[in-house]
Structures are given as C-alpha cells and as structure tokens.
Amino acid sequence: MGSPDGLTRRCAAADEGDPTPCEGPLAAVVIVTGDGTQITGCVQHSARQLASMKGARLHPMAALLPWALDVYCRAAELPPFPWQIGL
C-alpha cells in the first residue's frame, strides 16, 4: 500500500478510488469481510469499508478499543462507496 514517494501512504482499508487521507492510527481497527478476510485500517477508511462491503463487521477485539464506536457511528452515516459520489 502507498506510493514510493511516501507522501500518500495509507492504511490497508483505503480503497484505490477513495482520495481521502487516513485519520488516526493506520491500524486502528480490524474489519472482517463477509468472506472472512481481515483488513486492518484507520478509523476513516474502516468506517467507509464497513459502509460499503456487504456483510463486513468489526473484529470482536475492536470492541475493546476506544475508536470502535466512532467507526460504527461514521459507517452508519455513510452511503456505500461514498468516494464514488464525492464524499
């Protein structure tokens, strides 16, 4: 992940088409997708993937972290694939 120049290094949850920068730690939470794949991401991009991927949820361990609620609240307010409509 990230470009060679290091200027746009982002977390693993950042979608290629999503231009927004990371927020908080790059490994804030772990998302578990519908097929069981685990993706570690920042608060911003984890919320966006959570809103976009069918069946995705936070890893149970994430519930112990202070930003888990923040991720859920953000995801609840986002449409799927928000970067496609400029959000």
What is the closest distance, in whole angstroms, from the C-beta atom of residue 60 to Zn ion in the complex? 21
What is the closest distance, in whole angstroms, from the C-beta atom of residue 10 to Zn ion in the complex? 5
Contact footprint for Zn ion (CB under 5 A): 10-11, 14, 22, 42, 45
Q: Which is nearer to Zn ion, 14 or 71 (CB)?
A: 14
Q: Which is nearer to Zn ion, 10 or 74 (CB)?
A: 10
User: What is the DSSP track for 12-81?
Assistant: TT--TT--PPP-S-TTSEEEE-TTS-EEEE-HHHHHHHHHHSTT-EE-GGGGGSTTHHHHHHHHHHPPSS
